[in-house]
Amino acid sequence: MSRKGRRLFFIGLILSVFGLALGMILFALRGSVSLFLTPTELAERQLNAGARLRLGGLVKEGSVVKLGPQSITFVITDGTKDVGVSYKGIIPDLFREGQGVVAEGLLTSPSASGVSQLRADSVLAKHDENYMPREIAESLKKQGVWQGGSPPSSPTSPPRP
């Protein structure tokens, strides 16, 4: 084998090993990746019970029910569809009706009324009056529900004066 042939062989071998390692990493991460969806997108995708996801939207007015000191149920809406959420844990201080929220957890079977349900592991409330996750804000803008005067700021943008 010539010198050029050996070099091509080793380059091919290195690329093959790199590709195999990348494939193994992606295979290992497939179970821990959670999707970010709005209630409308969730209804369109028809995910099975047990799917792990992040659900974002607004806490529907009049939907918050405290079941105990660290147990709560509420409804996340994007103005079109609703998803019920049950959560056991410390509720964020900024959590309230009409505010942006992201809940991460497992999708359970729909209730008797056909509304999807999410058993949340974590609930994140927006951190100030200017921030809302970009995907939620864009979804609300498309539906004409967005009430902000200017586009939402991103977590990395400097604060506005």
Q: Summarize pLDDT for 97-146 with one digit per residue, the tens.
A: 888 899 999 888 766 566 678 899 999 886 655 556 677 777 778 877 66
For the four alpha carbons of 18, 24, 28 and 34, in that order, the dihedral sign comes to positive
Count the Cβ atoms, other than its own, within 10 Å of residue 53.
20
pTM of the model: 0.60
Report d(CA 88, CA 54) in Å as an integer.
16
Q: Are 89 and 122 in contact (CB under 8 A)?
A: yes
Counted residue by residue, the chain has a size of: 161
The stretch 40-63 carries a mean pLDDT of 85
